[in-house]
Amino acid sequence: MPRPLKVLVTGANGFIGSALCSLLLQRGYAVRRCIRRTSEDSAPPQPATTVAVGELGPETDWATAVEGIDVVVHLAARVHVLAETATDALAEYRRVNVEGTRSLAAASLRGGVKRMVFLSSAKVHGERSVRPFCESDAPHPEDAYAVSKLEAEEGLKAALAPGQTRWTILRPPLVYGPRVRANFLRLLRTVARGVPLPLGLIDNRRSLIYVGNLVDAIEASIQRDAADGNSWLVSDGEDLPTPELVRRLAGALNRPVRLLPVSVRLLRFAGKLTGKSAAVDRLVDSLQVDSKAIRRDLQWTPPYTVDQGLQETARWFRAQELP
């Protein structure tokens, strides 16, 4: 009987990382969880082991983390935030996302890792789409986070070019599911309170991916040789207008939905007045991705529908926050 693949997961205590570790353990992998420091750790899934590497950057010592590892899945990153506080945001993103990724790739190559799967972002293609983005579209990152993700992709490929470590890059749009944070959690709370939302006249399309679908796609990338040297966009496959997303969330939460017919022009004007133009743009603009390539090349089908993903997210939310 062959031994199980040994997989290192960086960012293992995060939203996506915790879901991935659980899935890999269920499917028989030997999992090593990589986190920044043990004081941040929650109870690890058994029987995973854990290694702490400190802050991510060009000086991170990855040697112990990658020792004996077959596959590295790199999820850890400085994530996108709307209220940026760093004096030089791009420099901070580059230090963690670009140089940290490059140093991990170099350590993986030295350590004999067979494959590295890197989680990038659909935002490398831009913040809005007039048609679904596909892999052949030229990148057009528009903020520091997206720039750093694209540069991290390029740094990873350059670092691995001299050797035998193969790479795969996945570019998801907005990820949702149990333990979600940031904007999606705020939307959940708003819908759960029954607050009227001025979103009734928005006519856009947004691609999403349920965390259960994303980690399944990552596991498919670990397993299949067709993943070698490919960068893919990945999504649930059903793109929703913002009002429809709100309606489905309300249905999953068993809450009434209140959508007010406010014009998009007025929403954008209000965003400028309040300094929240970026948040408004994400509600009213379209951002679609075409995920047919990964489905074709890996023979991959998302195991969950959007409605199933939203129901699971709502179930978690109700258990955490609703009376």
**What domains are there in the chain, each with its CATH number?**
6-176+210-235+288-303 (3.40.50.720)
pLDDT at 40: 65
Q: Give me the amino acid identity at 252.
A: A
Distance CA 168, CA 290 (A): 17
Q: Quickly state the pLDDT bin for 316 (edges 50, 70, 90).
A: very high
User: What residue has token string 């570019």?
Assistant: 171
| 120 pLDDT more than 90 | yes
66 and 108 in contact (C-beta within 8 Å)? yes
- In tens, the pLDDT along 141-159 reads 999 999 999 999 999 999 9
Residue 145 designated active-site:
yes
Q: Quickly state the pLDDT bin for 182 (edges 50, 70, 90).
A: confident
| 43 pLDDT more than 80 | no
The residues with which 34 forms a beta bridge, in sequence order, are 10, 51
Choice among 29, 93, 145, 210 that is catalytic: 145
- In tens, the pLDDT along 267-310 reads 999 999 999 898 899 999 999 999 999 999 999 999 999 999 99
Average pLDDT over residues 7-15: 95
pLDDT at 220: 96
| 34 pLDDT more than 80 | yes
Residue 63's Cβ-count burial label (10 Å; 0-12, 13-18, 19+) is exposed
Q: Quickly state the pLDDT bin for 82 (edges 50, 70, 90).
A: very low
Q: Strand, coil or helix: what is 200?
A: coil
